[in-house]
Amino acid sequence: MFTRSASSPISVVTGGAGFLGSHLTDKLLAEGHRVVGLDNLITGNLENIGHLAGNQNYRFIRHDVSNFIFLPDDVDFIYHLASPASPIDYLEHPIPTMKVGALGTHNALGLAKAKKAGLLLASTSECYGDPLVHPQKEDYWGNVNPIGPRGVYDEAKRFAEAITMAYHRYHGVDTKIVRIFNTYGPRMRLRDGRVVPAFIGQALAGEPLTIFGDGSQTRSFCFVSDLIDGIFRLSQSDFHEPVNIGNPIEMTIKQFAEHILRITGSEHGIDYRPLPVDDPKVRQPDISRANKVLNWQPKVDFEIGIRETLEYFRSRLTADPK
């Protein structure tokens, strides 16, 4: 059991075996924290935290945070990252997605209140829906279809933000909210349905890249180390309203596909298919608030980040060609 120490804070990371949760765990350990990771492994992977086996400052508990969270440990801070986070995941697991956004957030906030701990909610740019304002600033309320197929994720996160602010205002819990924009890097799942692993996987497999629609929709891609740095800075701040963390450099999906074809040397081209329901046409963060409040901006060049991600996926395919 971890007990409170001024020199070594105790942090809980829900979704701790996921893509972002595992990278955040590494960051916290590097900053001198002791970490308790919680994950039900519905989309997380123990391989992401395998390198932490035997680390006396880390403990993993397999648990679904949609159920009551009991921890005997002292807790200084909770990073609530648990949730399916790609369309293929939340379309396959719609009810667990709603439950972790609603019940899971409620339980994490209850733990924070009971332990007198702070809490950071990992929210999403999907709160903006298919935006009518571009780029997206934190004071934009969004354009979300609550009953569309993506609504299970979008509305779960919007509810999570609302209950987080309620706990802050009513119970005085020290809360933070980060709205995460498209993030990529090592430890993404190759077949999680998001555009970065999808394009890289298809290119490495010698297949054409699948673009939904005409490829004119835009995204902004942030490397994972930059995102984690922003999350950590926010958790250490005194700011309580939502903060966008993402890379403001915008490109079309077609441009992104062309970059992947060039970098991989693939000659298999592009396969165009119908656009899914409610797929956002634009996505670009306004990071003025993050820059002002956190002195944060992304540093990793897109070309460098994509090549590092590509090498990760290439090594994974070599180890497991299936």
| Alpha-helix residue ranges (DSSP H) falling in the chain | 19-30, 87-92, 94-99, 105-115, 151-166, 195-204, 224-235, 253-264, 288-294, 302-319
Q: What is the pLDDT of residues 20-77, one digit of tens each?
A: 999 999 999 999 999 999 999 999 999 999 999 999 999 999 999 999 999 999 999 9
Superfamily of domain 10-183+223-248: NAD(P)-binding Rossmann-like Domain (3.40.50.720)
pLDDT of residue 46: 98
Q: What is the pLDDT of residues 201-222, one digit of tens each?
A: 999 999 999 998 999 999 999 9
Could you say which residues of the chain have pLDDT below 50? none
Cite the active site residues: 153
Q: Is 109 left (phi over 0), alpha (psi -120 to 50) or beta?
A: alpha
129: Cβ contacts below 8 Å, ≥ 6 apart: 142, 143, 144, 145, 154, 278, 280
pLDDT of residue 193: 80
What angle do helix axes 19-30 and 224-235 make, rounded to 10 degrees? 60
pLDDT of residue 54: 95
* CATH code, residues 195-218+250-283+299-313: 3.90.25.10
pLDDT of residue 73: 92
- Pairing assessment for the beta strands 250-252 and 218-220 based on DSSP bridges: antiparallel
pLDDT of residue 319: 66
Query: What does the domain layout of the chain look like in residue ranges?
Result: 10-183+223-248, 195-218+250-283+299-313
pLDDT of residue 320: 63
